[in-house]
Structure 1
Amino acid sequence: MAVTRMGDDPSTPTLTELLSDRATRTPEREFLRFGDESWTFGEIDAWTSKLAHRLIEVDGIGEGDRVAIMLPNVVQWPVVWLSVLKAGAVVVPINSSYQQADLTFVLKDSGVRVVFADRERGRLLNDAVAAQSDLAEVRIVDVADDGTARFPATAPTRTIDAETLANLQYTSGTTGFPKACMLTHDYWVRIGWVASAAAGLGPDDVLLTAQPFSYMDPQWNTALALTVGAPLVVLPRFSASGFFADVRRHRATFFYVLGSMPTLLFKQPPSPADRDNDVRVVFCSGIPKQLHLQLEERWGAPWREIYGMTESGVDLFSSFDDADAVGSGSVGLPIPTKQVRVVDPDGADLPDGEPGELIVTGKPMMNGYWNRPEDTARTVRDGWLHTGDVVIRRPDGGVRLVGRIKDMVRRGGENIASAEVESVLERDDAVIDAAVVAEPDETLGEEVKAFVQLADGIAADRTTAELIVERAGSQLARFKVPRYVTFVDSFPRTPSERISKPALKAQVAGAVTHDVGSGRKNSAPAKSGMVDVEVVRDVAVVTLRRPDKLNALDVEARVSLAKVIREYGTGAAARGIVLTGEGRAFSAGEDLTSAPDSYEQLRAALDTFHDITRAILQTRVPVVAAVNGLAVGGASEITLCCDTRIATPETEYYQPENRRGLTISNASSVLLPRLVGNQAMHMVLGSPRIDADGARRIGLVDEIVPPEELLDRAIHTVHAWTPETGTTALHLELLRPQLDEIEQAFAREDVAGREAWDSGVVTAGIGGFWTTKAKENPA
């Protein structure tokens, strides 16, 4: 079936008709394989017809009645499923690992009349039924003795069409008890139809699944096998160490993996036999983009994303013809029968590149939640299903998954997607798997906590925790790096092989937790003499602090400032830099308490200002000047190198160099004319004090905000200029003056500085400054 046919309605509308057609056309072809046993389409058709008659005649099952299945991965699972559908009834899959509380809830909520189970789970079911008077009429059938031998092998007469309810499919339930999605025959048939077209599958393929049958993936794989007439191999469970051995043994050409399965497979020791397989194509969900190409190269087949959820079946997929999808992080484009939008919390559409919630509409889609009209109304609004997934839409229409709305850590005003941090942790060779949750924090609201499963032979101690966090810190923004690390031997999982975080928190109660990040808190700035640095919301706030009323920058302070700018300007430790000052003053320039007494000292002073300019213009992140007061001389010129200047009403610019016999340093000779046009000459030669309004009028500052909002506004500007999918560093390089132009200005300043020194005007100007100060302050 061609991919272009995905938008058509399936040629056969129900699962029961699909099975009947296959049994009529190819009765001897293999359909289901469990271990070393297999069954043909004809055999399964006859078996399911007999069991359907038994359900009707012995158990009294009518159309629309609910029948539950509580079994591991055995052939009776799909047989009972298809039998119930032939009887016109509705299947209720029950997780085979449920205990009494979960089991009792599902039995009561769904209103089942019959449950199929094995002997082990039959005992648990009997206990649950005996303990609840309102479950007394529930009948439990042992699949080892289903009593079908005496019934006819032709299907009973029941009214079944595309819109007939097939399943009450309970979701994993991240909070409280799960909800049941009402899924029709069309839902299952359409997933098989779309998947077969998207993957280009046919009767010569061999499909393989390893997830529990109570989850939806083996069920849509069964629909897929019926659609293309290919056999489906069902493994007892997923085992990372044995998975590809089974793939080779069964000569599988297609499989689907999700969640942590790709990472767990990749972390198995490489083998010369890795490419010894028949796999043609792989569908996956949540593939780590940094492993995508390596997974394809290691096992020699294309892996592509398919996105959906229990409520919506399949929504997006990446074409196997699209090589650019590899490693892109995209989960694909909408299938022809679906429309998608990315919206803000108010439901307004967001532009490309802006993170928001993914909402979808179209077919396949659930009919709502069973017995949950309020939940249905919250999830499906005006025909659009709200997925709860945070995504970013790319310019090509592809969608990149960021995380879950509810699976976020809100640290100090920043939203951190747990999935992003988990992905980075899982790249570490010492880590098998990881889960990130929010840990309450009095100062920041929430902190990042990581649960980590270590590779064999790695010590579960504080040193290991520190090393893992340190390596993660080289790839994550600082505020996203975990503060707490707890080691676990294994993770509790949902049927879909995702980590169950509610169960995890209960499992590790009392375990040792390493606090390895307390030194990174925003409340503990790193000090360096007159230059202090504090990382706030992933932005390096650099504060200029001076030891006396002159508020002057000496050589040591300028060297330190250039070093700090280079350290944080790479983008590895912060997404931007904000320069500000202490108290009411941004900063003065040259410290005249240690004025140069030789040209060499003057040249050294100029060089340190020059180096600050180089450092700022060579950063890969935005540099914002938060000018909180008086900016004098060289400090005023430092702000001109920044990408924008935000001021308070108390801001003043003052460049008195000409009056003191000094030359302007830094890059003012290039930057100032560009900023203020014909005002530059007046500023330099007349040396007036320019207040905030005047500075804004002539372009020295871009906006004026109240003092209490200055830093927040500067940090917000950095965030606005550094979107996750943006090309900020490239644009900074294009928008800033070229460094060779600045270097030419430096050379001219050096010549002018020599001339000013030799003429004596520098010494006279400095002397005049101190004479004036002495008159103003006789003491």
Structure 2
Amino acid sequence: MTSEARAIAPAQRTLPALLQRQAALFPGRRLLKIAGREWSHEDAATTAATRAGALMQAGVARGDRIALMCGNRIEFLEVFLGAGWMGAATVPVNTASMGPQIEYFLANSEAKLLVIEAEFLERLNTADLARTKLREIWVIGEVKTEWQAPSSVRASPYPEPSEPVLPAGVQPGEPIAILYTSGTTGPAKGVVCPHAQYFWWGVNSAEVLGVGAEDVLCTTLPLFHINALNTFAQAAVTGCEVVFESRFSASGFWPAMRASGATVVYLLGAMVPILLAQPEGGSERDHRVRVGLGPGVPAAAGKAFFERTGVRLLEGYGSTETNFVIATAPDSPRGGVMGWVRDGFQARVADDDDVEVAPGEAGELLLRADEPYAFASGYFNMPGKTVEAWRNLWFHTGDRVIREADGAFRFVDRIKDAIRRRGENISSFEVEQVLLSHPSVASCAVYPVSSELAEDEVMAALVVRADCRIDFAELASFCEARLPYFAVPRYIDLMDDLPRTENGKVQKYKLRERGVSGSTWDRRPAGRGR
């Protein structure tokens, strides 16, 4: 099916065209199972048309943005498909976001409508909605908390579907979503993802994994990330079925895969060591899973995972701004690398002046696509950041890699000042802004240190204001009320001063090298956070 998808005319590489095409080819075939609900491929097209009608009745127009804060439930996909059908863009909001982050996403995206699950409504109490362009809120589920919408915003229950509307004449380069990815030297950036990029995410990922019409895809990852959204695209492109679990559970993972009949699974780096830490059991082999996607999984963990479960995990590289550009395959000559560049893309390892370096030398990974709109079109409302990232007609990933003699790309480290924990990219800038808002903190630096789960832990070095003292537990609680749980620092060090360059810039590499010491406060033993 992916070879047929590649032959689709460029003008038809949009969500409405894809849904209509698959509804005609596989009308009664099951496409989706999520939270006890099911769709056929025909149902998906019908739902898109009826939800688009409801959005239009609410005053949403083509080109508008719709913010969406919801777990893995069918309403998420209803809004996403309905918006794409009528030419609006969805702005998924991480369900761990607190009031200040929600306010920023709403203000930066200029969203007019927020669709939010009732359990998250209380977070809006610390968001100043008057500083946004929000006009209406749809609430999913029963409201069990005290919350009052401001007078400028109308709040109502999530509405029933409307009469179906015809699809808009959406072009492949029009935005289907704005996905926020953590900034490093500033606020989070909204990645503008065109319809054609979403189409190519599905095609390329399905090809890497060998997905066919008889497969069952199953993911425990959240729909507000490109990984899970991409899983839906794979199913839509190939005519197969996708099952979304509500969340990842180490003890429940294999029983869930067996119950779903999954043949393809999706894991992130830290999830594999967590699964391997579980007691060995028959359920690890009692399943139909033949392959999994496991970017960032250490080679030794991937080998141990295969030996215990029979599931081979494929490596790869892609970002919200790009696509599935680099990947391994089941018959790759060796492991321990991200893989080889795929057809339709170009990759270069370059120095600080964007000059390509020789094989074996480390440099920044630069990427570009052959097909139109296969990459994001920029950062929403951030023209300067867009030009910086796409300078010289290459997308600058901010990752340091090595291209080896056989063409394989090996990850070295991050050039960007970013942290990755629990599958989430964390902005050190945003964490630092919260810490600096505490009355006892004079200056600070936030940076990654290694954890036992093949990922980063968040560490902060603080300089305390004169005549003040720090209560670590109180500071952690202060952060928990203002940051997603995964961004709250685990480790905190107190310092007389931060190491700086002659022009005053903090030398975080010295702090990373120093790492955790005997005087470091560790939040985990106190039982706080995750």
- For the criterion TM > 0.5, the same-fold answer is yes
Distance 1:8 1:344 in 2: 37
When residues 162 and 257 of structure 1 are mapped into structure 2, their CA distance, relative to the original with a 3 A threshold, is same
Structure 2 match to 1:533? none
Q: Is the 8 A contact 2:16 2:167 kept in 1?
A: no
Deviations 1:623-665 (A, max 9, x none): xxxxxxxxxxxxxxxxxxxxxxxxxxxxxxxxxxxxxxxxxxx
Assess, with a 3 A threshold, how the Cα gap between structure 1 residues 389 and 7 changes in structure 2: closer, same or farther.
Answer: farther
- The counterpart of 2:343, out of the listed 336, 347, 350, is 336
For the 8 Å contact 2:2–2:203, the answer to whether it is kept is no
CA–CA distance in structure 1, aligned partners of residues 295 and 195 of structure 2: 23
| CA apart distance, 1:396 | 0.9
CA distance in 2, matches of 1:116, 1:440: 38
Q: After the TM superposition, which residues 153-552 of structure 1 pair with which residues of structure 2 at under 5 Å, given as runs?
A: 153=164, 155-174=165-184, 176-322=186-332, 324-325=333-334, 328-362=335-369, 363=371, 364-406=374-416, 422=450, 426=452, 435=456, 500=486, 503-505=487-489, 507-509=490-492
State whether residues 170 and 179 of structure 1, in contact with CA within 8 Å, keep that contact through their aligned partners in structure 2: yes
Inter-CA distance 84–434: structure 2 relative to 1 (3 Å threshold): closer
**Counterpart-to-counterpart distance in 1, 2:40 and 2:308:** 34
In structure 2, what is the equivalent of residue 135 of structure 1?
132
1:566-619 deviation line (CA, Å, top 9, x unaligned): xxxxxxxxxxxxxxxxxxxxxxxxxxxxxxxxxxxxxxxxxxxxxxxxxxxxxx
Task: Report the Cα offset of residue 387 of structure 1.
Answer: 0.6
Does residue 91 of the first structure (1) align with residue 65 of the second (2)? Answer: no
Aligned-pair distance for 1:438? 7.7
- Paired residue secondary structure (2:300): coil
Shift, 1:51, TM fit = 1.3
Partners of 1:172 and 1:158 in 2: CA distance: 32
What do you get for the CA RMSD once the two structures are aligned?
3.2
Work out whether residues 325 and 345 of structure 2, in 8 Å CA contact, stay in contact via their aligned partners in 1. Answer: yes
1:103 aligns with 2:71: no
1:192 CA displacement: 0.5
The 2-side partners of 1:408 and 1:134 are apart by 28
Question: Would the alpha carbon gap of residues 233 and 116 (structure 1) be closer, same or farther in structure 2, given more than 3 Å must change?
Answer: same
Q: Summarize the Cα distance change of 1:440–1:171 in structure 2 as closer, same or farther, 3 Å threshold.
A: closer
Match of 1:152 in 2: 163
Deviations 1:76-99 (A, max 9, x none): 111110001111111111112211
**2:2–2:238 CA contact under 8 A, matched in 1:** no
Asked if the contact 2:67–2:91 (Cα under 8 Å) also holds between the matched residues in 1, the reply is: yes
Counterparts in 2 of 1:100 and 1:270: CA distance versus 1, 3 Å = same
For residues 38-90 of structure 1, what are the alpha-carbon distances to aligned partners after superposition, in whole Å with 9 as ceiling and x for unaligned? 2222223222211101111x212111011111111111111110001111111
Residue 114 of structure 2 corresponds to 115
On the 8 A contact 1:32/1:75 being kept in 2, the answer is no
Structure 1 position 11, deviation (Å): 9.3
Q: What are the Cα deviations for residues 332-364 of structure 1, in whole angstroms up to 9, with x where unaligned?
A: 111111101111222221111111111111152
Q: Separation in 2 of the partners of 1:263 and 1:174?
A: 27
8 Å contact 1:334–1:340 — kept in the other structure?
yes
Aligned-partner Cα distance in 2 for 1:17–1:2? 16
Are 1:343 and 1:357, in contact at CA under 8 Å, matched by a contact in 2?
yes
Provide, for residues 518-552 of structure 1, a one-character-per-residue CA deviation record: whole Å limited to 9, x for no partner. xxxxxxxxxxxxxxxxxxxx9xxxxxxxxxxxxxx
Residues 7/21 of structure 1: CA separation in 2 closer, same or farther (3 Å cut)? closer
What do residues 673-728 of structure 1 show as CA deviations (whole Å, max 9, x unaligned)? Answer: xxxxxxxxxxxxxxxxxxxxxxxxxxxxxxxxxxxxxxxxxxxxxxxxxxxxxxxx
CA distance in 1, matches of 2:7, 2:365: 21
Equivalent residue, structure 1, for 2:25: 25
- 8 Å contact from structure 2 (residues 194, 376) kept in 1: yes
**What residue in structure 1 maps to residue 64 of structure 2?**
65
Equivalent-residue separation in structure 1 for 2:13 and 2:98 (angstroms): 36
Matched residues, number: 434
Query: Given the superposition, is the C-alpha separation of residues 343 and 138 from structure 1 closer, same or farther in structure 2, using an over 3 Å criterion?
Result: same
CA contact (8 A) 1:358 1:387 kept: yes
Shift of 1:4: 11
Q: Deviation of residue 101 (structure 1)?
A: 0.5
SS, match of residue 291 in structure 1? helix
Relative to its length, the structure with more helix (as a share) is: 1
State the secondary structure of the residue aligned to 1:400: strand
Task: Give, as a single letter, the amino acid of the residue that structure 1 aligns with 2:23.
Answer: A
Pair 1:222–1:321, CA change in 2 (3 A): same
Task: Tell me if the contact between 2:111 and 2:133 (Cα under 8 Å) persists in the aligned partners.
Answer: no
Structure 1, unmatched stretches of 5+, are: 410-417, 427-431, 442-487, 512-537, 539-779
Matches within 5 A, 1:749-768: none
Mapped to 2, the partners of 1:219 and 1:408 lie a distance apart of: 23
Q: Go from structure 1 to structure 2 and tell me whether the alpha carbon gap of 1:10 and 1:295 turns closer, same or farther (over 3 Å shift).
A: farther
Task: Give 3-state SS (helix, strand or coil) of 1:80's partner.
Answer: helix
CA contact 1:225–1:232 (8 Å) conserved in 2: yes
Closer/same/farther in 2, CA of residues 200 and 212 from structure 1, 3 Å limit: same
Structure 1 position 382, deviation (Å): 1.2
Does the residue aligned with 2:230 lie in a helix, a strand or coil?
helix
Deviations 1:249-298 (A, max 9, x none): 11100122123122222222211331111012111211101222221222
Which position in structure 1 is the counterpart of 2:430? none
Q: Aligned pair in 2 of structure 1 residues 34, 436: CA closer, same or farther (>3 Å)?
A: closer
Q: Shift of residue 122 of structure 1?
A: 3.6
Tell me the distance in 2 between the aligned counterparts of 1:4 and 1:403.
37
**Contact 1:69–1:92 at 8 Å: present in 2 too?**
yes
| Structure 2 CA distance for aligned equivalents of residues 86 and 116 of structure 1 | 17
8 Å Cα contact 2:202-2:233 kept in structure 1? yes
| Distance in 2 between residues matched to 1:110 and 1:2, nearest whole Å | 33
Instruction: Give, in whole Å, the separation in 2 of the partners of 1:21 and 1:332.
Output: 32
Q: Is the Cα contact below 8 Å between 1:288 and 1:329 reproduced in 2?
A: yes
Larger relative contact order (CA 8 Å, sep ≥ 6): 2
C-alpha distance after superposition, 1:188-242 (max 9, x if no partner): 0011111122222112100011111111111111111100111111111112222
Query: Does the C-alpha gap of structure 1 residues 120 and 436 become closer, same or farther in structure 2, counting only changes over 3 Å?
Result: closer
Contact 1:69 1:93 in 2 (8 A): yes
1:378 deviation in Å?
1.5
Distance in 1 separating the partners of 2:49 and 2:81? 9
The residue matched to 2:22 in structure 1 has which SS? helix
Equivalent-residue separation in structure 2 for 1:140 and 1:232 (angstroms): 29
Q: Which residue of 2 aligns with 1:53?
A: 53
- Output the amino acid matched with 1:335: R
The separation in 2 between residues aligned to 1:80 and 1:8, in whole angstroms, is 25
Query: Whole-Å Cα distance in 2 between the matches of residues 29 and 213 of structure 1?
Result: 22
Measure the CA separation in 1 of the matches of 2:104 and 2:418. Answer: 29
**TM-score (normalizing by structure 2):** 0.75
